[in-house]
Amino acid sequence: MNLLRKISEFLTLRKKKRFIKDQRSRSMHKYSILSIVVLFVILIIMNVLVDLLAENRFVDLTAQKMNSVSEETRKVLTDLPAEVQIIGLFERPDNLESSIYQLFVPLLDKYEELSKGKMSVSYYDPDAYPSIVFGLDPTGSTSFSKDTYVVKSGDRFVIIDPMDCLIFDSYEYSVNNRTVIVGNSVETVFTGSISYLVSGDLRRAYFTNGHSESGSSTIRDLLRYDGYECKDLYLEQQGGIPDDCEVIIINLPKSDFTENEAGLLSDFLSDGGKIIMVSDFSSYPTEMTNLFALAEKMRISITSDIIRENSPEFMLVADNNYYSKGIVSDAYSSLFGIEFVTVGESRSIQLGDYSESDATVRPILASSSNAVAHYVESNPTENLVEGTKYFALHSAIDGRTGRGEMIVLGTGFISADEYISSLGTNDDGIRFFRYLIHSLTGKTVQTPIPAKFLPSYDFTNMPSVSEQTIWTVMLIAIIPFVFISAGIIVYYRRKHK
């Protein structure tokens, strides 16, 4: 009897547990179905609300904020002293997702909104509206191209080719002949152009020509955005330096200046002029006697020695000691907020000892204390003394009618187009060169608007062996063990309820 009663109780308990389990299972099924239905209802309601409340509104959810404006742009647009027009010489695209104008149209719409009526954005096809070209330039002296933008304020205007605002993968273009967009400088170009057009305090910067100087188009554009009007200076043809010249930029010449040209530059310094000179080994082995003698008058010696960095901490390439980080002097670092810039194939710029000159010289860019300087064709390790070498020096001297200043750089990595195209305009060295020009002209240094790059998923730094080992153990052993253990514990707890 006891056995039968125990069997009956056991069966009754099993039946009761099965009933409770079935009840719980049915309840969970009901809750699951109800939750799914509620979720769909919420999604439908949110979709309808977004359509009703956010119609014609743009929300930038990209991590790089590709179509958002910076604080610098907001300040320019809210403080516009004059009206500005932006005219696209094409029909406004209906489908932005299939064109490059998805990087332009939403951003410029935001510009118009932030300007509070001071700026307008419009689109006209010049083939359908030929009068628009005459309205932009009544003199008829300018040739306008279709599919470009024109930024206009008063009688002044700037033509912007959208393709010039895009940054392409140089490797894909050179190797695979493919144009792959990796970023853009739309905001940099448009905000800079607007600032240039409405500026009431334009500075004049002259670039020397006639000596096979390196390309300076990128630096010129960036300076224009900073409020400079950049012009060419042909000393021999012009016979002098224009009265409105505030700074002269000599960017990597490959031939010497004449005695007459050097004399004009010397007079310019005596009258309080400012010169920034760049000379690296792209011009070697040409000896520029007259140009280098001009620097010697300012107690700066431009040598034919190349700087070799021996400190691994400052080397950029393990097997090339001639590419390194230049250390910005404390005075300029505190002023510009930049501690290091990329330098390469740099001449050694030394402090000259000229008793007839009372110029004051101070360092700008220096190597580590382990660097050497040697003649470019000599043995780089033979009888050389390690010590701090200078990539750039600044000199100032009281002249006839003002205080003349000269900056000499031995590296073109921060000024020449061929280098900037590989480093990008966001590079600290490019900003540093602009800031140097600002410091010579007394212009306030402003935060530049950087280019925006698409996200890259390439490894920038290879993990060390120890880090790789840790991650391998985590992924292969520890994480799977935790999940399996949690599953076993949950299974047994539910089974014995």
Mean pLDDT, each 10-residue run in order, the chain (497 residues): 60 56 55 62 66 48 61 90 94 85 92 93 92 87 91 92 83 72 86 88 91 90 88 92 95 93 94 93 76 92 91 85 92 91 91 75 94 78 83 92 92 85 75 92 75 59 57 73 73 59
As a whole number of angstroms, the longest Cα–Cα distance in the chain is: 130
Decide which of 3.40.50.2300, 3.10.129.10, 3.40.50.150, 3.40.50.880 is the CATH code for 202-453: 3.40.50.880
pTM of the model: 0.71
| Separation of alpha carbons 153 and 198, rounded Å | 7
Distance CA 263, CA 258 (A): 8
Task: Give me 224's structure tokens.
Answer: 């224009």
The β-bridge partners of 196 are: none
- Position 457 scores a pLDDT of 46
CATH 3.30.70.1400 fits 58-200, yes or no: no
Query: Cα–Cα distance between 413 and 322 in angstroms, integer?
Result: 12
- Cα Rg of the chain (Å, integer): 33
DSSP category for residue 476:
I
Tell me if 58-200 shares its fold with 202-453.
no
How far apart CA 87 and CA 96 sit, in angstroms, is: 17
Strand order in the sheet with 149-153: 119-123, 84-88, 149-153, 156-160
Domains of the chain by residue range: 58-200, 202-453, 464-491
